[in-house]
Structures are given as C-alpha cells and as structure tokens.
C-alpha cells in the first residue's frame, strides 16, 4: 500500500479497510501492466539473411613473388594462403563491397530495405574517418529509416557488431539490423613490406539479424580487449595522435605495422579461450558444436587453437583463408556464407563465430541456427521490384544532393540581398 493511500483515508485512525474489497484500481492496473510487460513473449535474434562480395581481381602468391622478396611456398606453409582478392578500380571501396554484401543479405531474407532499423559496419578500412561507411551503405541501399554507424574492433569487428545488434534486438529497440564486415586493407598495406602485404585481402560479408519469437539465433556473446597490446598491430598515423603529414607519409606510418609473432601467440591462446567461454555461456558442450567459423587470418592459428586445444575435429571448422587471405572484419561473414553455400549449415546446428585482432581485441558468438538455409526463389517480377527500389533510392539521394546544392547557392545570395537592419530594428531575443 502506498503512503498516498494511507493519507487518502483522512481519518487519522491506524488503518481503514480500503474500498472495493481491498482493491486499488490504479495500483492494480499498474501491477497488471507490469505483469504484461514481464510475460511478453521472449525475443530472439535470428540470422535471416546473408551475403558476401569480393573483388574480381585475384592476386596469387606467385603474383606477389614479382612484387616483394617472398615465395609461394613460404606463404602457403606459414599461413595457408594461396591467393587473395584485391580491389582494382578506384571506385571499388569498402562501401561498394559492403553495399553488395548487404543487398544480397536483404534478398535472401526477402526484406524491403525500408524495414531495416540499424546498420552496423565493422571495418578497419572505412571510406573516411567520418562520415561512417555504414551511412554511405545506408544511402546506397535507400534504407531511409535506419541508424548507421561504423564499429572499430579490427578483425574482431564482425563478432562485436553481431553482439551489439543482438543487444538492440533483445532490448526491443530494433526489429531488423544489418551487420556488415567490409574491408579494403589492400589500400592500407605497404606493398614493399613482405611481412604484411602477403597476408591481407579485400571483401565484405553481411548478415541480417531479425527479432523473432522462434528460440535460438545468436544466443550468447563474449567480447574482450587488452589495450596493452595496442602497438602490436597498428596503423600509427592518420588519426589524431599523428595526423597525416609529409613526415608520416614519407616514413610510411600510414601503413599497417605488425609484430606477427606476438599476435600469433596471443591469437592461438585467445581463440580457444573465447570459444570455450561463449559455449559455457550458451550452455553447449564443445562436443555438441556443429561448426566453428573462425576469423581467417592464418590456417596455423586455427589449427593451434580451436582444432588442437579444443579438440574440435577438422570437418567442424570452416577454413577458406587459402582463397581470400585475411579480410579482417569481413572474414567471418564471408566464411559463413561459403559454409552455407557448401551445405555445412542446417537448422538446429550449433555454430560458433570467433575472432581476434588489433586492439588487442577478441570476441565470440554462439549461434543456434534456426532458419532454413535455402535461398527464396526469385522471379522476374521480384527482381524488377528490387531494381526499382534501388533505382528509386539512387534517384532520391541525387535529388536530395541537388536540392542541397541549390540551397547552398541561393541562400548566401539571398542573405547578401537582405537589407542590413539598424540595431534598433533587431527583434528582442525572447
């Protein structure tokens, strides 16, 4: 009973029986509402769409032998990489790759772009420091009602983004979230540094996460960071600590620098630990894992961590690093898409995504796959409708840009023509 109810008696006596057989309508209503809030059906965050895009240009280890002092044999035995994709045209960027990957994810889910609530783009090679690559993707796809931001957690970025997206959905703040990993690290590597340039590749992968009442989806996540290892893998210049200057460019400080051995040691330890931790959280024994999709940095890291330490058999760990190299935040979603294409994912499967990267950062997500993996059939009509949607989005964006340009030209002229007011004519400020 509230203090107000007591006061409401107005008798001064110790206690008076309330009206309506002891019921207080306002309180009861509130209690009912609270109960309804509590008994709302549980929400789950399901992956309902997926897609990836890689550049067409293939760069093999033999191609690299022409560029730096390296050998195909060294790269294959130390990393497992045979070739990677590299953007060719200047207009091919993290945003264009991310846009295509996201478009494919929307098509698999058969969802109109206008229904997406949030776009998170995990990237270490954004188009600009700002605006975010996610905002550019938002405009490219005409996703008019969505928030959009980039997430910087290096190669762990996709797992971080998935975890945040899950949180948004479980909190009831979003129904559909696009999670994208998009990279063009070929533009960040020093092509004369053999210790890094042979490792990285370009590409993008995306998933569409949706609120659902079907149990499963992304069921647990683990995120971690140890900034004491920040200098082990870094692009030293180009940020506020060392803004771009003639010196930073001439010393090559705007390229990736890495202590490969130290990162290797950290990675083998953390990949196994994070996988174990997320499985504990999800309540799934290691023996019940159907597929691990690890960050594709180096085949040896995968072998030394999830395969050997956790004793997960090789056919339950998806590896495609030989085709794409290390595509950083894009590597897990690209690998997931290929695993689905190869029939390695089925409803009811327990999946783990696990990554590590600069920061140092690490992360893992446990996923109970709960949706069909077949892509919906596309008809001539659905294709035409989709094309029309994207063309309308492009036209809308052009129109908005044109209007802004006109305003920016007309407004200064109008201001200049406005007669200057005498001080006594100025309106008093309210």
Q: Is 326 a catalytic residue?
A: yes
Q: Which residue has the tokens 């200064």?
A: 412
- Going by C-alpha positions, the residue among 103, 41, 98 that lies closest to residue 383 is 103
Q: Residues 139-178: x/- map of binding to ligand UT7 (CB under 6 A)?
A: ----------------x-----------------------
Nearest approach in angstroms of CB 290 to ligand UT7 is 25
**Radius of gyration over alpha carbons of the chain, in Å?**
27
Give the range of 101-109, 216-224, 261-269, 339-347 binding ligand UT7 by CB under 6 A. Answer: 261-269
CA-closest candidate to residue 83, choices 314, 398, 324, 341: 324
Examine residue 198 and tell whether it contacts ligand UT7 (CB under 6 A). Answer: yes
Q: What order do you get walking across the sheet with 118-122 strand by strand? A: 147-151, 118-122, 176-184, 202-212, 44-53, 217-225, 361-368, 350-357, 291-294
Strand duo 118-122 + 147-151: pairing: parallel
Q: Distance between CA 285 and CA 276 in Å, rounded?
A: 9
Catalytic entry in 295, 320, 337, 365:
295
Of the pair 356, 369, the CB lying nearest ligand UT7 is at 356
CA-based torsion, 248, 228, 268, 281: positive or negative: negative
**Rounded to an integer, what distance in angstroms lies between the CA atom of residue 241 and that of residue 287?**
46
Q: How many residues bind ligand UT7 (CB under 6 A)?
A: 21
In the complex with ligand UT7, the residue whose CB is nearer, 82 or 397, is 82
Is 212:45 a contact under the CB 8 Å cutoff?
yes
**Binding to ligand UT7 in span 357-376, by CB under 6 A:** 357
**Contacts of ligand UT7 in 213-252 (CB under 6 A):** 233
> What track of x and - describes contact with ligand UT7 for positions 377 through 406 (by CB under 6 A)?
------------------------------
- Of 75-83, 107-115, 118-126, 382-390, which segment contacts ligand UT7 by CB under 6 A? 75-83
Whole-number Å distance between alpha carbons of 131 and 133: 7
Check residue 78 for interaction with ligand UT7 (CB under 6 A).
yes
Scanning 245-253, 259-267, 272-280, 370-378 for contacts with ligand UT7 by CB under 6 A, the matching segment is: 259-267
Is 21 marked active-site?
Answer: no
Helix (H) or strand (E) holding 194: helix 194-197
User: Based on CB atoms, which residue is closest to ligand UT7, 183 or 349?
Assistant: 183
For residues 132 and 171, the answer to whether their CB atoms sit within 8 Å is: no
Cβ proximity of 134 and 180 under 8 Å? yes
Closer of 267 and 351 to ligand UT7 (Cβ): 267
Known catalytic residue: 295?
A: yes
Pairing of strands 233-234, 83-85: unpaired
Q: Tell me, what DSSP letter sits at residue 421?
A: P
Residues that bind ligand UT7 (CB under 6 A): 70-71, 74-75, 78-79, 155, 194-195, 198, 233, 258, 260-261, 263-264, 267, 297-298, 326, 357
Active-site annotation, residues: 155, 295, 326
């Amino acid at each position: 009973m509230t203090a107000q109810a007591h006061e409401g008696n107005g008798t001064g006596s110790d206690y008076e029986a309330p009206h309506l057989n002891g019921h207080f309508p306002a309180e009861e209503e509130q209690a009912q509402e609270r109960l309804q809030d509590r008994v709302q059906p549980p929400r789950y965050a399901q992956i309902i769409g997926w897609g990836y895009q890689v550049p067409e240009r293939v760069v093999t280890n033999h191609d690299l032998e022409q560029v730096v002092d390296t050998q195909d044999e060294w790269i294959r035995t130390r990393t497992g990489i045979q070739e990677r994709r590299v953007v060719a045209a200047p207009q091919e960027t993290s945003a264009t790759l991310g846009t295509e990957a996201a478009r494919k994810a929307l098509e698999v889910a058969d969802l109109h772009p206008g229904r997406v609530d949030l776009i998170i783009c995990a990237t270490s090679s954004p188009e600009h420091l700002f605006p975010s690559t996610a905002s550019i993707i938002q405009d490219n796809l005409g996703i008019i009602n969505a928030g959009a931001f980039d997430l910087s957690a290096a190669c762990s970025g996709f797992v971080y983004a998935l975890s945040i997206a899950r949180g948004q959905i479980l909190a009831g703040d979003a129904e559909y979230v696009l999670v994208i990993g998009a990279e063009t690290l070929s533009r960040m590597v020093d092509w004369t540094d053999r210790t890094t340039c042979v490792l990285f590749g370009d590409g993008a992968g995306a998933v569409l996460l949706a609120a659902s009442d079907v149990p499963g989806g992304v069921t647990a996540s683990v995120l971690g960071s140890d900034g004491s290892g920040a200098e082990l893998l870094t692009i030293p210049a180009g940020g506020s600590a060392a803004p771009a200057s003639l010196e930073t460019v001439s010393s090559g400080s705007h390229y990736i620098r890495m202590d490969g051995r130290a990162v290797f040691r950290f990675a083998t330890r953390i990949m196994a630990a994070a996988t174990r931790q997320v499985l504990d959280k999800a309540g799934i024994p290691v023996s019940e894992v159907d597929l691990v999709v690890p960050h594709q940095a180096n085949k040896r890291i995968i072998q030394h961590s999830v395969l050997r330490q956790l004793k997960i058999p090789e056919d339950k760990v998806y590896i495609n690093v030989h085709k794409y190299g290390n595509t950083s935040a894009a590597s897990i979603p690209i690998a997931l898409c290929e695993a689905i294409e190869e029939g390695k994912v089925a409803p009811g499967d327990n999946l783990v995504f696990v990554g590590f990267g600069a920061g140092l950062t690490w992360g893992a997500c446990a996923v109970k796959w709960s949706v069909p993996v077949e892509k919906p059939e596309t008809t001539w009509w659905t294709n035409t409708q989709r094309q029309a949607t994207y063309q309308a989005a492009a036209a809308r964006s052009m129109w908005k840009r044109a209007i802004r340009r006109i305003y920016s030209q007309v407004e200064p002229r109008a201001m200049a023509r406005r007669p200057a007011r005498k001080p006594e004519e100025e309106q008093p400020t309210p």
